[in-house]
Amino acid sequence: MQVIGIDVAKATFDIALPLGQGKYRTRGKLGNTAAGWEQLLAWRQAHAPEAAVGMEATGIYHEALAERLVAAGVTVYVVNPAQIKAYGQSELLRTKTDRTDAKLIARFLQSRLQEPDRLHPYVPPTPVERTLRALVRRRDELKQMRQMELNRLESTHAALAASIGQVVATLEQQITQIEKAINEHIDNDPDLRGRRDLLTTIPGISGTTSAFLLACLGELNQYSDVGQIVAHAGLNPARRQSGTHEGKVRISRVGNATLRAKLYMPALVGKRHNPVLAAFARRLAERGKPPKLILCALMRKLLHIVWGVLKSATPFDPRKAIARA
């Protein structure tokens, strides 16, 4: 299979097509705009019309390009940047440019596509999910700005307190408006509303968290099992053992850090109010596990519950969940 590696930045992207024997056909600094995407499609049609395309998940900069390629019938793979970095380290690469990164992504894609079920084609979000993501992202940005202003208020000069207070009030007003827009958007879509209502039956999952999960995970059809969601969050155990040395088992942290952060409070609340999580936490404590490890395990367990509720399309039932535990 022919593959094209794309290194995407905010304003531009570079592309590389392996030709064999260490040679590549490349094209640099195409604009990450509608015009640039059409240039890429024309270039692909001219040089490798059947080629799949691979790129890193670079924040939000890759999304529009990936969606345009899928709409044009191109098979697209969006890869965790940590995988690309590790692959480059395995090759002892010493040079890093946009063009060499595009070549690296192409080589990574070639190697992984030879192994079945290692990569899954990118599935773009629906227009409804895309809107939800934008709203949730904006809400989080506003909350971060509010916290920054509140931090400044603690140590600012008295002459500036009123100004900062006005900014905080404006941000709180904006947050309220965005949260209202999120709720209305979910309420107006039967599918989103149904999934939101299922998620909020889980003790510990609030309306705010459910909106984030719906925006972050989208349709679960892109995941073949719950382990992929756990790995997506970077909550899968990473064991380190060498010779006689037995390191501690920690979470991998190779995944979506924001998702991990959003699961922290729900897991903490669930430890007290969710019978399944509470019983699980007690078992771990009785085995002498430290609090931090228990909380990470609860976050992972919560994702399992989320998966079960959404895949079965049935409200949370602690009796069934305990029976499966």
The 3 state secondary structure assigned to 194-236 is HHHHHHCCCCCCCHHHHHHHHHHHCCHHHCCCHHHHHHHCCCC
Residue type, 156: T
Crossing angle of the two packed helices 158-187 and 190-199, in degrees rounded to 10: 110
Neighbour-count burial of 273, counting CB atoms closer than 10 A to its CB (0-12 exposed, 13-18 middle, 19+ buried): exposed
In tens, the pLDDT along 196-217 reads: 999 999 999 999 999 999 988 8
Mean pLDDT of 15-40: 94
Report the pLDDT value the prediction gives residue 253, as an integer from 0 to 100. 57
| DSSP secondary structure letter of residue 125 | P
Report the pLDDT value the prediction gives residue 19, as an integer from 0 to 100. 94
Interacting residues of 304 by C-beta distance below 8 A, sequence separation 6+: 226, 230
In the chain, domain spans:
3-113, 127-188, 207-324
CA-CA distance, 160 to 174, in Å (whole number)? 21
Mean pLDDT of 11-39: 94
Q: In this predicted model, which residue has the larger pLDDT, 293 or 247?
A: 293
Is the pLDDT at 140 greater than 90? The verdict is: yes
Q: In this predicted model, which residue has the larger pLDDT, 323 or 94?
A: 94
* Residue 220, number of CB atoms within 10 A of its CB: 15
For residue 79, the number of C-alpha atoms closer than 13 Å in the C-beta half-sphere is 29
Q: How far is CA 214 from CA 123, 197, 226, 252, in A?
A: 15, 11, 15, 23
For residue 165, the number of C-alpha atoms closer than 13 Å in the C-beta half-sphere is 6
Class at the top of the CATH hierarchy for domain 3-113: alpha beta
CA-CA distance, 60 to 284, in Å (whole number)? 38
Average pLDDT, the chain: 88
Q: Supply the pTM of this predicted model.
A: 0.80
CA-CA distance, 220 to 167, in Å (whole number)? 39
